[in-house]
């Protein structure tokens, strides 16, 4: 077996620190998780933490990047797939909630980071949300253009969808039945956006 290079060792350490932060954020929240706890839980010293992250904000960014990096490509593919806009919206809702059901620790960690940033760094949170809504807004806009959806404020509807998915996703991550929650949200947002028959 080949020995790890220094770069590989550093990357492994960083990944283990991010995994530790994710677990602790999911269990305790961001404010109640110290740098020392992240390092200790991962089996490293505080020095190892600081050689990988200059600030706690950097580890928050790494947690968000890991979760979004595994979820976003799947959701973007659904939004850009074939089918009606309402079918793709339903698939987006289901895909989002299934991810939350399959990966409860990542979900709770992401929600903890979002909650922390909502109060501690509202501008950064607003930018993150705006970027994450772009594809949903594009889908809703397509639905309005082709007459499948009624007129409504695109940004407001996309933001309501995202906030609802975050809240209900957290319930799913804590064991709420994913199919029942998905069905209700699909029905609700379909009725809220669909053009009158």
DSSP notation for 146-158: TTSB----HHHHH
Question: For residue 111, what pLDDT band results from cuts at 50, 70 and 90?
Answer: confident
Distances (CA, A) of 84 to 94, 145, 155, 165: 15, 12, 20, 21
Kindly report the CATH number assigned to the domain that includes residue 178.
1.10.357.10
Q: Is residue 33 part of a domain?
A: no
Q: Is residue 85 part of a domain?
A: yes
**What's residue 124's pLDDT?**
59
The total number of structural domains that make up the chain? 1
148, 84 contact by CB (below 8 A): yes
Q: Is residue 115 part of a domain?
A: yes
Task: Give tens-digit pLDDT for 86-110.
Answer: 999 999 999 999 999 999 999 899 8
**What's residue 72's pLDDT?**
84
Q: What is the mean pLDDT of residues 176-184?
A: 97
- Using the predicted structure, report yes or no on whether residue 128 has a pLDDT greater than 80: no
CA distance 55 to 167: 28
Which position has the higher pLDDT, 118 or 100? 100
pTM for this structure? Answer: 0.83
- Using the predicted structure, report yes or no on whether residue 48 has a pLDDT greater than 80: yes
- Using the predicted structure, report yes or no on whether residue 149 has a pLDDT greater than 80: yes
**What's residue 130's pLDDT?**
72
Per the structure, the complete domain to which residue 73 belongs is given by 56-193
Question: For residue 36, what pLDDT band results from cuts at 50, 70 and 90?
Answer: very high
SS3 state at 76:
helix
Q: Is residue 125 part of a domain?
A: yes
CA distance 38 to 21: 5
């Amino acid at each position: 077996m080949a020995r790890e290079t220094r770069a590989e060792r550093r990357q492994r350490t960083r990944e283990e620190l991010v995994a530790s932060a994710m677990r602790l954020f999911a269990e305790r929240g961001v404010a109640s998780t110290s740098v020392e706890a992240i390092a200790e839980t991962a089996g490293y010293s505080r020095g190892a933490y600081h050689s990988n992250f200059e600030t706690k904000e950097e580890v928050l960014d790494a947690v968000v990047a890991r979760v979004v990096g595994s979820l976003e490509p799947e959701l973007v593919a659904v939004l850009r797939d074939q089918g009606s806009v309402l079918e793709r919206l339903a698939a987006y809702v289901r895909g989002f909630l299934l991810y939350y059901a399959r990966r409860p620790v990542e979900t709770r960690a992401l929600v903890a980071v979002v909650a922390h940033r909502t109060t501690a760094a509202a501008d950064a949170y607003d930018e993150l949300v705006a970027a994450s809504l772009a594809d949903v807004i594009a889908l809703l806009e397509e639905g309005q253009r082709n007459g499948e959806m009624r007129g409504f404020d695109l940004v407001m509807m996309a933001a309501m969808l995202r906030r609802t998915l975050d809240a209900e996703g957290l319930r799913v991550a804590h064991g709420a039945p994913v199919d029942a929650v998905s069905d209700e949200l699909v029905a609700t947002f379909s009725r809220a956006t669909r053009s009158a028959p």
